[in-house]
Amino acid sequence: SPLSLQQSCEEDIAVTQWTYAKANALPHFRVNPKTSFLGAVFGIAPLAFWWYVFKTERDYKEKLIREGKYERPFHVAY
């Protein structure tokens, strides 16, 4: 049977609590090992990964340039 108007207007306590928690998450946030780990994984690890990738690529190209096996496509100074 379809819900009557009175039933659909009743407040569901669980939905109210979930909505409040979603809207006010920051004041109730607590630092714990899980959030610290996730912060490191999603905040620091990508930066460290890309730093390593760019540094190794640059070092490899510089090594090839010193050995004369790679010529720079763009000259900074002539």
pLDDT digits (tens, 9 = 90+) for 22-65: 888 877 788 999 999 999 999 999 999 999 999 999 999 999 99
How many whole angstroms separate alpha carbon 59 and alpha carbon 53?
A: 10
Q: For residues 45 and 55, what is the distance between their CA atoms, to the nearest angstrom? A: 15
Counting the structural domains of the chain, the total is: 1
Domain coverage including residue 34 = 5-67
Distance CA 62, CA 72 (A): 10
Q: Is 72 a member of any domain?
A: no
pLDDT of residue 4: 52
Full-model pTM: 0.58
**Residue 73 placed within a domain:** no
